[in-house]
Structure 1
Amino acid sequence: MALEFIGIDPETEKDGSPTVWVEEETADLIFQGEKADAVLAALVGGQSWAPDHSAGIPAHEWVMRIPARMVPIIRKACDVAERRAAGGSEL
């Protein structure tokens, strides 16, 4: 699996790393971020479920938090993914 690094949280510490990549073959977005335990607890408590979906987090998934300051990096990742999915060049 080949990943294209898009960006990392500009305020990250050396051991912190909210990060975004685009998987080169599928154009899927890949995120690394802080586990959002408080958000997960709220979800497990029955709040904010997607309509027509079962409540709960499947065992193969988890909830993560990506800082709002990373929105420009995520937009860039979306642009790269969109170009890749359309068969264009990454940048």
Structure 2
Amino acid sequence: MSLQFIGIDRQTGDDESPTVWIDQEKGELVFQGWKLSPQLEAECAALELTGNAVGIPDTEAVVRIPARMVDVIRKACDALECADHVR
């Protein structure tokens, strides 16, 4: 996998770094974010969504990304969209 760094939340301290990358080969966004509290993770896991099983599979994770990173996420989406046109 070759990740392309897109951006980092510059407003967090040295010990925290919500980050966005893209994986152009797979056409995926990759996020590093804050872990959820056990209560919030349980709330997410309990949601019943049409077409999805209740729970969070062992191969998946739910993370928090600050809303102030919307511009970085848009940049990642644009980069993937441009890469998709090149393929």
The answer to whether the superposition gives a TM-score over 0.5 is: yes
Q: Which residue of 2 aligns with 1:79?
A: 78
**Equivalent in the alignment of 1:28:** 28
Amino acid at match of 1:80: A
SS in 2 for 1:4: strand
Unaligned 5+ runs, structure 1: none
Amino acid corresponding to residue 2 of structure 1 in structure 2: S
Aligned-residue sequence identity (percent) comes to 47
- String of CA shifts for 1:1-35, please: whole Å, max 9, x gaps: 21111000120211211000011322311100001
Query: Over aligned residue pairs, what C-alpha RMSD do you find?
Result: 1.5
- Give how far 1:39 is off: 2.5
Q: How many matched pairs?
A: 86
> Whose helix proportion is higher, 1 or 2?
2
TM-score between the two structures when normalised by the length of structure 1: 0.84
State the match for 1:41 in structure 2. Answer: 42
Unaligned runs of 5+ in 2: none
- After TM superposition, the runs of 4+ consecutive aligned structure 1 residues lying more than 6 A away are none
